Amino acid sequence: MYTLGIDIGSASSKVVVLADGQQIVAKKVIPVGTGTSGPQRAFECALHEAGLTSENIARQVVTGYGRMTYAGADEQISEITCHARGVHFLMPKARTIIDIGGQDAKAISIDELGLVVNFVMNEKCAAGTGRFLEVMARVLECDVQDLEKLSAKADQPVLVSSTCTVFAESEVISHLAAGQNRQNIAAGIHQSVARRVLSLARRVGLLPEVVMTGGVALNQGVVLAMAEELKMAVGVAPFPQITGAIGAALLAYEKASRS
Amino acid sequence: MSRMQKLLSDFEYIAHHPAQMLQQWKAATGGKAVGIMPIHCAEEVVYAAGMLPIGMWGGQTTISRANEYLQAFCCSIMKAVMEFSLSGAYKNLDAIICPETCDTLRPVPLMLRLSDPDTPVIGLVLPDNRKLQAGIEFTANEYRNIAGQLAKITGKPVTDEALHASIELYNRHHMVMMDFYALAAEHGDVITPYYRHQVVKSSFFIPKDRHLALVEGLTAELRKLPQTSEKRLRVVVTGIMTEPDELLILLDEFGFVIAADDLAQGSRQFRTPTPADPDPYIRLGKRFADFEGCSCVSDPLKLRGKILADMVRTRQADGVIVLIMKFCDPEEYDYPYIKKDIEDAGIPHLYLEIEQQMDSLGQCRTRLQAFAELISRRKWLVAK
């Protein structure tokens, strides 16, 4: 039985096709999200990769910010539930999930069955999210993907103390103008993300194993900064961008196989 | 239209048309009205003065001029109140009573006097040491002062007999409201969160005797109906208020029924009866001494969390939704305590930040949906 999970975020669209709730037969990430052609393109590309058509899909679950306007799914489930399920599938020992996406950050506490115990999300503030890193990358005149290479060469991270993305941008500009090097600033930016997100995550409690997901988890600089701030090992889920889509496909399988 | 539908429609209309209710009452009685700012103010004194108490809990408006008076990090309720004041919406009030509820409300009497110099603003200071005899007498004296100020406006003194009668009426009203809450919890398909709120909110805009009669009519109709809350997710909501209306509609969409509330614009107004005493002002002082469980009332033993946990058990709720009004410091300060007590009792909860005026509820939708999924999966697991 094939099931499909689609996670439509603000900044990207992710699709996973699962066989019998066990094997990922296709996965696709398109770097544009809700309101764009991204969801449809991700859907078509994933089916093509799996060698399937939409008629082969027994059940489809949609999640993410764009779930309310997506027509074509059998059910829409919140990204909290889907991420929990997806991470549990990939890393059964995970108990705390820190998911940082394009515009939001969330911490989810799960139990041994992958059920959500508690969760907390950022409130109307993009500090500590992918958007924060995009703004900083622009100021440092590099791609977002290059921030981790920069911070890996830092010898003394520069403190970026402003919690607001806009004020932090001004602060980074001041550091550059004062002659600080980009490597140390990048490391300071990663520490700022770690501090901001962990102050949120501590509200749900941080039980090991702590696992990061979401696009920002691809940035090893942020992962290392998290581990240093937490004084705890921080893992990264395999395929960190698609854990929500995996969870959605799994939940689709659970319901399809029951009926 | 059935009698039930007519009553719910009436409550909805009253809740959405406070200015019209005030105008109609004034036209019918020739009386005077007093605006009552949140949270704790004994309306009984106003009623005993023959005046109509009108709740001032903000509302739906675009915040523009209020920012001339209030800081950016100020709760949306006070911003709406200032906006209404500056636009002249409160012109029909003959006085305003403003308790020193929090740091934001403390300077509001001055701001109201600046924005509308013609409407007298009467301050109310409620003591922290409210349980001491001296505290009870302090509270009593505050209400004696208010009675004296109101007498100057009406030209008639407030008699002890009138105040005792007013207190008895309000005690009956509050009992009927608590009865309504209990029935509403078991009739979630009819008394949805939206309509539950309309019943509560309308109580602030019409005389209590009229509201009491309407609620008694509603509870009589509810008693005739079978219970309809079995499939719903039962929650206790706690916080300042459950607005805007779209938030209430979301609660219904995700299958929640409000099993009980600990809301400032809710059971905190109704759940503490006024005890007996020969002196009616001392009675009000004693009620304030007896009251427990509000972030804006001194609570050194931090009982609010245990009160919430007890509400969950008594009303067989599945979880708690903590509605934090953005920039409400007292509620934020309470949150760690109530979080600990709720978690120690093994009760799941959702922290949900709201504002009274919210254009986009996408974030609320995600959080409420996730919480509904969380507690329904747990219920399924327990049932299995």
Q: What is the separation, in whole angstroms, between the first and last Cα of chain A?
A: 12
Q: Which helix (H) or strand (E) holds A23?
A: strand A23-30
pLDDT at A165: 84
Nearest-5° Cα angle at A46, A44 to A51? 95
> B364 is written with which tokens?
């609320």
Chain A residue at shortest CA distance from B340: A203
How far is the alpha carbon of A81 from chain B, nearest alpha carbon, in Å? Answer: 6
Nearest residue to A167 via CA among A120, A133, A127: A127
Shortest distance, CA A78 to any CA of chain B (angstroms): 5
Note whether B336 and B349 are within 8 A (CB): no
Domains observed in chain A: 1-91+241-259 (3.30.420.40), 94-236 (3.30.420.40)
Q: What are A153-160's contacts with CB under 8 Å, separation 24+?
A: A153/A183, A154/A183, A154/A184, A154/A186, A154/A187, A155/A183, A155/A184, A156/A184, A157/A184, A157/A187, A157/A188, A157/A190, A157/A191, A158/A184, A158/A185, A158/A187, A158/A188, A159/A188, A159/A191, A160/A185, A160/A188, A160/A189, A160/A191, A160/A192
Q: Give the closest-approach CA distance of A30 to chain B in angstroms.
A: 22
Mean pLDDT in residue range B302-311:
95
**pLDDT confidence band for A125 (50 / 70 / 90):** confident
Q: What is the pLDDT of residue A259?
A: 76
The alpha-carbon gap from B342 to the nearest alpha carbon of chain A, in Å, equals 12
Six-digit token string for B107:
């300077």
Indicate the pLDDT class of residue A57, thresholds 50, 70 and 90: very high
| A5-55 per-position pLDDT tens digit | 999 988 899 999 999 999 999 999 999 999 999 999 999 999 999 999 999
Cβ–Cβ pairs < 8 A, chains A and B: 47
Predicted confidence (pLDDT) at residue B71 exceeds the cutoff of 90: no
Q: From the candidates A62, A76, A118, which should be mutated to test the interface with B, based on the most B CB atoms within 10 A?
A: A118
Contact B374 A116 (CB under 8 A): yes
Question: Where residue A124 falls among pLDDT bands split at 50, 70, 90?
Answer: low
Chain A residues closer than 8 Å to B353 by CB: 123-124
Are B36 and B170 contacting, i.e. CB atoms less than 8 angstroms apart?
no
- Whether A124 contacts chain B with CB within 8 A: yes
Q: How far apart are the first and last CA of chain B?
A: 42
Contact criterion met (CB < 8 Å) for A123 and B377: no
Task: Mutation target for B interface from A78, A99, A110, A123: give the one with most B CBs within 10 A.
Answer: A78
Q: Are B36 and B53 in contact (CB under 8 A)?
A: yes
Instruction: Assign residue B287 a region (left: φ > 0; alpha: ψ between -120 and 50; beta: otherwise).
Output: alpha
* Distance of alpha carbon A201 from alpha carbon A217, whole angstroms: 15
Neighbouring residues of A231: CB distance < 8 A, sequence distance ≥ 6: none
Q: Is the pLDDT of residue A169 over 80?
A: yes
Locus of tokens 């004696």: B144
Model pLDDT, residue A102:
80
Tokens of A13: 């669209």
| Mean pLDDT score, B315-319 | 95
Mean pLDDT within B206-214: 98
Spatial distance between the Cα atoms of B265 and B6, rounded to a whole number of angstroms: 24
On whether any CB of chain B is under 8 Å from the CB of A258, the answer is no
What average pLDDT score do residues A208-232 get? Answer: 93
pLDDT in tens, B98-125: 999 999 999 999 999 988 899 999 999 9
State the average pLDDT for chain B: 95
Residue B97 clears pLDDT 70, i.e. is over it: yes
pLDDT score, position B72:
85
Contact status, residue B67 vs residue B83, Cβ threshold 8 Å: no
pTM: 0.92
By C-alpha distance, the chain A residue nearest B327 is: A123
Judge contact between B9 and B17, C-beta under 8 A.
Answer: no
What residues of chain B lie within 8 A of the CB of A116, using their CB?
370, 373-374, 377
Determine, for residues B366 and A78 on separate chains, whether the beta-carbon distance falls below 8 Å: yes
**Taking 80 as the threshold, does the pLDDT of residue A211 lie above it?**
yes
What is the average pLDDT score of chain A?
92
- Report pLDDT digits (tens) over B222-278: 999 998 878 899 999 999 999 999 999 999 999 999 999 999 999 999 999 999 999
3 state SS of A169: helix
The two tokens of residue B4 are: 């039930």
The answer to whether residues B257 and B233 touch, using CB atoms and an 8 Å cutoff, is yes
**pLDDT per residue as tens digits for the range A64-77:** 989 998 988 999 99
**C-alpha span between B44 and B283 (Å, rounded):** 11
Kindly determine whether residue B367 and residue A116, on different chains, have CB atoms separated by under 8 Å: no
Window 6-25 of A: residues touching B by CB (8 A cutoff) are none
Spatial distance between the Cα atoms of B264 and A125, rounded to a whole number of angstroms = 27
Q: What is the pLDDT of residue A167?
A: 86
What was the pLDDT predicted at B203?
98
